Structure 1
Amino acid sequence: MSAHLQWMVVRNCSSFLLKRNNQTYSTEPNNLKARNSFRYNGLIHRKTVGVEPAPDGKGIVVVLKKRSGQRKPATSYVRVRIRRDARGSLRSLRHLISKNKYRRDLRMVRG
């Protein structure tokens, strides 16, 4: 299915929706802004990027959704741990996104 068709199905009825203060938020994985919008949705796009803090508090974990393996959700995500200072982590994240040709519209959302 196309991303637009999936968005039409998911936009008003999803288990990840939160409606507070006349705004709709979304708590799905890989949604960088937590907004319920087509652009930031982490479920419907083929290639998504998510950033999480590392479990031990040192560095970040970048969650990348592979284009292959759409039918196998357990293996469709790759986790890359980056342990550097703030500037080095941001540089590594930008390099990782640009070299793997992930979505350019999300390049400066988190940084």
Structure 2
Amino acid sequence: MSNDSLTWLLTKNTSSFLIRRNGNEFAKEKFNLMNRNCRKYSGLAGNKAVDISLKDQKISLSLKKVKATRKPLKNVNVIPLRKGARACGDTIRGNISRNFYRRDLKRAALARLSRLSTVSKVEKGTKSLQL
């Protein structure tokens, strides 16, 4: 049994990030793209994990470094996504699937990018007449 499998067995039912509501199980941990409590998307149980987050209206791609798993400060590689949606999608595809990092998470990462990019857009205000 590998280290990842053992970690998943220990944390799948007792994680502090686990939320159970209406028969559904969710997880709020970082590096969990779909926020589901399953081994495929778990950020705690894998050496290779992907996260796309939004902070201050800026989207960033975070990847876990495989060689720095025991050094938490040096464990994460953060790539800011500053360009348009198509260029950001190309960056995600290049870092996840073309570099053989986690090909199975490509669709989930692109779906999360799509959701976050629509949320981060600021709606145009309307000018009202001042009387």
Give the TM-score of the pair, scaled to structure 1.
Answer: 0.91
Structure 2, unpaired ranges of 5+: 111-131
Q: Show the counterpart of 1:72.
A: 71
Q: Show the counterpart of 1:25.
A: 26
Q: Show the counterpart of 1:50.
A: 51
1:54 CA drift (Å): 4.4
1:98 CA drift (Å): 2.6
Give matches, 1:1-111, under 5 Å. Answer: 1-55=2-56, 57-58=57-58, 60-111=59-110
**SS at 1:109's partner residue?**
helix
Do the aligned partners of 2:92 and 2:109 also contact (CA within 8 Å) in 1? no
RMSD across aligned positions (CA): 1.3
Runs of 4+ with >3 A deviation: none
1:3 CA drift (Å): 1.3
Percent of pairs with identical residues? 36
Give the aligned length.
109
1:47 CA drift (Å): 0.9
Give me the whole-angstrom Cα distance separating, in 2, the residues matched to 1:91 and 1:83.
12
**SS at 2:107's partner residue?**
coil
1:26 CA drift (Å): 0.3
The letter of the residue matching 2:32 is N
Give me the whole-angstrom Cα distance separating, in 2, the residues matched to 1:52 and 1:96.
16
Give me the whole-angstrom Cα distance separating, in 2, the residues matched to 1:9 and 1:96.
30
Whose helix proportion is higher, 1 or 2?
2
The letter of the residue matching 2:63 is L
Give me the whole-angstrom Cα distance separating, in 1, the residues matched to 2:92 and 2:103.
13
